[in-house]
């Protein structure tokens, strides 16, 4: 029988793996898993993913990588006036957290 993670649809596998690693964000495995997820066409690479990579790299002390991922997240942020979705809401939350963590920006 397949392990529980492999019984999930592919779209949920990487989210659970990443979330588990994010809780232990000081591990290099989190950054590697996220980079792999972002590289899969149509599966990753959204604003939320890039913001999460910015946070992970920041916690790992890799300021240059963190800044690059934060810049990517900003470029991929859903536009104002776009149809509200959960993905857009998640992007806003993760991007806000990344900005606050990396740049000390105060969020309303």
Q: Kindly report whether the global pTM for this prediction surpasses the value 0.75.
A: no
Q: Is residue 19 part of a domain?
A: yes
Q: Is residue 63 part of a domain?
A: yes
Report the CATH number that the domain containing residue 99 is assigned in CATH.
Answer: 1.25.40
Q: Is residue 6 part of a domain?
A: no
**Number of structural domains found in the chain:** 1
Q: Is residue 7 part of a domain?
A: no
Q: Residues 7-42: pLDDT tens digits?
A: 555 555 555 555 555 455 556 677 787 788 788 777
Who contacts 67 (Cβ-Cβ below 8 Å, separation ≥6)? Answer: 54, 102
Who contacts 37 (Cβ-Cβ below 8 Å, separation ≥6)? Answer: 14, 17, 18, 43, 44, 49
Q: Residues 87-106: pLDDT tens digits?
A: 888 888 889 999 999 988 65
């Amino acid at each position: 029988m397949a392990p529980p993670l492999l019984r999930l649809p592919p779209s949920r596998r990487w989210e659970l793996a990443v979330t588990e690693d994010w809780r232990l964000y000081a591990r290099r495995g989190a950054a590697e898993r996220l980079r792999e997820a972002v590289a899969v066409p149509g599966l990753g690479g959204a604003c939320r993913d890039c913001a999460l990579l910015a946070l992970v790299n920041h916690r790992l002390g890799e300021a240059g990588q963190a800044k690059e991922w934060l810049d990517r997240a900003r470029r991929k942020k859903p536009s104002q006036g776009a149809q509200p979705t959960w993905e857009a809401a998640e992007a806003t939350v993760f991007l806000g957290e990344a900005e606050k963590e990396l740049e000390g920006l105060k969020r309303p």
